[in-house]
Amino acid sequence: MLANVFHTLFLWLPFAYHHTSNGIEWNYLTNGKTWTDLCATGKQQSPIAFDIQKTRELKSPRIYFANYNVELKGPIFIKNNGHTISMDIPATINGQPPFISGGRLRGRYLAKGLHFHWGSPNSNGSEHTINNRRYDAEMHIVHRNAKYIDIIDAAEKKDGLAVIGVLLEIVKEPIAIPTGLTKVINAVIETPMDESNTTIPAGFSLDEMIGNVDHNDFLSYDGSLTTPFCHEAVSWTVFTQILPVSFSMVSKLWKLRDRCNHPMINNFRDIQDLNNRPVYHRFGRA
């Protein structure tokens, strides 16, 4: 199993999970119910259902988003890996990596990649829910603790990874869709099939992937990756403010194909048991 873990993690960044080295594959046909042989059986699995009324107020300082406002160095590689669309996060044009710190995090977490989860024309597909509501899609920005040498090492540590979750909602007339997000989603038409990829010029920062969403109002808990092998190594931060997007943007994701040439839809894992974990809410403020 350890060799499979290493191989899978190697594939995962920057392109997310694909299949294990012994040929065992996984899919979203049951939204993760059949992953029992691939995923951890611990008590800190993700995603979860957020109930705002049952959260604990987090009084820690805000999360610091360093170099998120600096343009990324292009070209940027985007890939259809048969399960999602993923994007490698390079250093910025000043040579420094984007990273996060503060909040409940201890240390610096370097931004390494991002990917998406979505539903279908008939169903919503965010992984996390808030007050029993599932949104149209969810973007994950994955960070590695800087004190670990690589993603393989980090995934084996309880404090190894930090993921920013941004919930997306289709609205009729979205105002000011982030330019970076628009560029990435528009590029997916060049990656319609499994293993297809494309590059785009940078010209945008990570801030331009998440727009004007309030960075200071968020939900936080300790959980796992939401794809096999579902390592329990993630400090989750999910913004409470929803990012509005257009129907045409999300519909581009519905048109993608997976490794079996089926529509790549409903690529989200089912809600996992909370198991008495504390869930924190930091209210928006400076």
What per-residue confidence (pLDDT) applies to 15?
35
Q: Which residue has the tokens 């996992």?
A: 272
163 close to 241: Cβ distance less than 8 angstroms: no
35 close to 224: Cβ distance less than 8 angstroms: no
What per-residue confidence (pLDDT) applies to 40?
63
What per-residue confidence (pLDDT) applies to 24?
61
Q: Let me know if 117 is a catalytic residue.
A: no
Residues facing 166 on adjacent strands = 139
CATH class of 2-282: alpha beta
Taking alpha carbons only, the member of 276, 124, 134, 249 closest to residue 181 is: 249
For the CA atoms of 38, 128, 12, 62, the dihedral, rounded to the nearest 10 degrees, stands at: -130
Q: What is the mean pLDDT of the chain?
A: 91
Tell me the CA end-to-end span of the chain in Å, nearest whole number. 45
What per-residue confidence (pLDDT) applies to 9?
45
Rounded distance between C-alpha atoms, residue 135 and residue 252, angstroms: 17
Check 18, 19, 83, 231 and give the catalytic one.
83
pTM summary value: 0.92
Parts of the chain with a pLDDT under 50: 1-22
What per-residue confidence (pLDDT) applies to 99?
99
Rounded distance between C-alpha atoms, residue 75 and residue 58, angstroms: 38
Element (H, E) at 12: helix 2-15
Rounded distance between C-alpha atoms, residue 127 and residue 138, angstroms: 7
Rounded distance between C-alpha atoms, residue 205 and residue 98, angstroms: 9
Element (H, E) at 154: helix 151-155
Rounded distance between C-alpha atoms, residue 245 and residue 142, angstroms: 21
The model's pLDDT over 73-87, given as tens digits with 9 standing for 90+, comes to 999 999 999 999 999
Residues facing 140 on adjacent strands = 115, 165
What per-residue confidence (pLDDT) applies to 286?
57
What is the Cβ-side half-sphere exposure of residue 33, based on CA atoms within 13 angstroms? Answer: 3
Residues facing 162 on adjacent strands = 143, 235
For the chain, helix (H) and strand (E) counts, in that order, are 5, 16
